[in-house]
Amino acid sequence: MKAVAYRLMAVALIAFGLALTTEAFFTLPNILNVLRQASLTFLIASGLTLTILTGGLDLSVGANVGLSACLAATVMKSSGSIALGAATGLAFGALVGIVNGLMVTALKLPPFIATYGMLWTLNGVTYWFMGGETIHGFSPGFRALGSGHWFGVPVPIYVMAAFLGAGGIFTRYTTLGHGVYAIGANREAARLSGIPVRARLNLVYTLSGAMAGLAAIVYLARLNSAEADIGEALTLPAIAAVLIGGTSLFGGVGSLTGTLVGALTLTLVVNGMNLWAVDANWQPLVTGVIVILAVWIDVATRQRAEARV
């Protein structure tokens, strides 16, 4: 918890700096915009956080968002039913998660390479499926999910809060959630203490896929259009958010709250660059530097902790 508090202070410092240097930052619309953007990043990164907590990884989340969004959009357009479209996106996202889980548990493939293969498979299928088309213009009722407000607060923030709450209870207060940490901390010990490791891993990868499916629907509602490249730039920021949030790539250490703080930090940096009128082309560079710094801190902290033991 102390770690999260330090990170929140960092967020406050960045926000303070932005408030001092730009006029537009400290306005209600901009703050709400930052929170909405961070909520979307959090939704994608939350399932990813669970996989990393088990000592694995899900590199396919961005591509999964892409194809799930395109499928949801297609079904929504052709059937005219919001519910059917949303269900399609969610179900497909979860299906990808199930396949990822089986590759990791049944076929025993290393998670990073299995989900990396999945990333490119999904990317290819998405481009083929869309064939260069753009699907846009959804009903106002659906779009409210992404761009609407409820008591003046953007709807995605409620979605984020609901899943942060549910995820927090899951990871902190349920046996299932404790199992996730135990597997990441020491897989063999977890197995010996009676945790069904494979079943838990299957669950975690399925959740990661389902969260990508959910994020896809909120994204779709926000953008009001679906294109093949919709998920392409999402992977690196999602991983960055998890790592900035203090979840260790080595498993067993981290939290969903941390990931939210990570998503907030990243969104503030991007927002600051926009407000300072920095060319958007700088964003992958900055995200890349942040990722390397965050992993470096993770590794160094771990080495220091090991030296102390």
Partner 1 sequence: MNNAGPAKAGHYVRSVPGAGYLLVILLGVFSIFGEGFATLPNILNIGVQSSVLLLLALPMTLIIMTEGLDLSMGAVLSLAGVVLATLLMNGHSLTAAIAAAAGVGLAFGIANGLFVVTLGLPPFVATLGTLGIAQGVALVLTGGQSVVGIGDALPALYESRPLGVPFSMAFAAVAFLAFGFVVRHTRLGSYVSALGGNREALVLAGVHANLVHIGTYAAGGLMAGLAALLLTGRISSGHPTAAIGLEFDAIAAVIVGGTSFERGDGTLGGTLIGVLTIGVLKNGLNVMSVSSSLQVASIGVLVIAALVIDRAVAALGRPVGSRA
Where does this chain touch partner 1 (CB under 8 A) — which range of 13-21, 71-79, 113-121, 209-217? 113-121
Determine phi and psi for 226, rounding to 5 degrees. Answer: -125, 130
Between CA 162 and CA 209 the distance in angstroms is: 18
* Structure tokens given for 232: 């392409």
Q: Beta partners for 226?
A: 135
Which of 123/271 has CB closer to partner 1? 123
Least distance CB 297 / partner 1 (angstroms):
10
* Contact status: 249 vs partner 1 (CB under 8 A): yes
Contact between 100 and partner 1 (CB under 8 A)? no
**Contact status: 306 vs partner 1 (CB under 8 A):** no
Residue whose C-alpha is closest to residue 230's, from 242, 243, 217: 217
Q: Which of 84, 162, 292, 305 is the binder for partner 1 (CB under 8 A)? A: 292
* Cα(269)–Cα(255) distance, integer angstroms: 21
Type of residue numbered 263? A
DSSP H stretches of helix in the chain: 2-21, 28-53, 61-79, 82-105, 111-130, 140-147, 155-173, 175-185, 187-192, 197-223, 235-244, 256-275, 283-308
Q: Which stretch binds partner 1 (CB under 8 A): 24-32, 148-156, 210-218, 281-289?
A: 281-289
- Please pick, from the candidates 8, 125, 153, 185, the single residue that binds partner 1 as defined by CB under 8 A: 125
Q: How far is the CB of 288 from partner 1 (least distance, A)?
A: 3
Residues 141-180 that bind partner 1 (CB under 8 A): none
Contact positions vs partner 1 (CB under 8 A):
57, 59, 103, 107-110, 112-114, 116-128, 131, 228, 236, 239, 243, 249, 279, 281-289, 291-292, 295-296, 299-300, 303
